[in-house]
Copies of this chain bind each other. A is one copy, B any other.
């Protein structure tokens, strides 16, 4: 029997199954510095202890997407090694910020299954949860992936499609304990616009572009111990290209939003998202945002802004889908999330 992990196939999953993912990870100032090296991340709350303390926190938490990438990366060997496609995200919520010294692990529960009509693959829905060394939930999200069958003769499971919220309710957002934007320093944050300055429907062009190299996306993906072959091995695709980890595009685009959304300090939820087209080294990634909603929270001075974040490799700002309802070829990512912003 082979000792290597060939991954799970569609027929290996059952609704209710809980999978403990391997290789917990302790993070330090190293991961924090690397995040700043890999992405043009400048949101002040994630850059400066002093700024974070001015917002009522003990120190600067790690970038929210560091938690996402680690929790996601751990799930890859068990969930998406034989995935044909990563189809969607929902109900992603950050609960406890990650700080230096924390050890993160990750667990997934299968919450839905649907075999495709061709009998060769199926959709697996999992709720993946990250916890720290104190057993606190760091974050959780639902994703669904299309997974190949290993044994085409395996019987189709009963179809279970979970009911998922289209948008995380504002009341369900977790505001980090102590967060207070009443004495927020807009100058050090980099922009003067507060929540009241953003109107629903407003579109923001984030202007800057970043051309990505193979070394960068591979190092970023490896950093989170994400081992999917297609990101690293030129022999794994017929075209000899290394597919960029979708999370690299998310982090790049989110960092680019600083220019226009410098005060959208913390991501607290992802309502949904799609990797519209693949991204490859040599592409120049740009971003634009659309304001989808604004809301109050119970924390002093803290509002919530719901944003559509679109990453592109060119094309006109604001264009997303063609007449056929499909994403235009220049669109890389369409992400719907909630962030916290001074009111």
What residues of chain A have their CB less than 8 Å away from a CB belonging to chain B? 2-5, 20, 22-34, 36-40, 42, 44, 47-51, 59-60, 77, 100-101, 103, 105, 133, 187-191, 193, 197, 204-211, 213-216, 218-220, 222-223, 225, 227, 229, 232-236, 242, 259-262, 284
Question: Which of B20, B33, B215 contacts A31, CB < 8 Å?
Answer: B33
Q: What are the residues of chain B within 8 A of A261 when measuring CB–CB?
A: 3
Give Cα A60–Cα B7 distance, bound, in whole angstroms: 27
Q: Are B227 and A33 in contact (CB under 8 A)?
A: no
CB<8 Å pairs between A and B, sample of 13: A3-B193, A3-B261, A5-B191, A23-B47, A28-B30, A29-B31, A30-B32, A31-B33, A34-B37, A36-B225, A37-B222, A210-B233, A211-B233
Q: Are A33 and B36 in contact (CB under 8 A)?
A: no
Among A24, A77, A103, A190: residue with most chain B CB under 10 A: A24
Q: Are A234 and B211 in contact (CB under 8 A)?
A: yes
Q: Which 9 A-B pairs have the closest CB atoms?
A: A28-B29, A30-B33, A22-B190, A24-B48, A215-B215, A213-B215, A209-B233, A30-B30, A37-B223
Q: What are the residues of chain B within 8 A of A40 when measuring CB–CB?
A: 222, 225, 227, 232
Nearest-neighbour CB distance to chain B for A195, whole angstroms, equals: 12
Q: Are B28 and A28 in contact (CB under 8 A)?
A: yes
Give Cα A34–Cα B233 distance, bound, in whole angstroms: 20
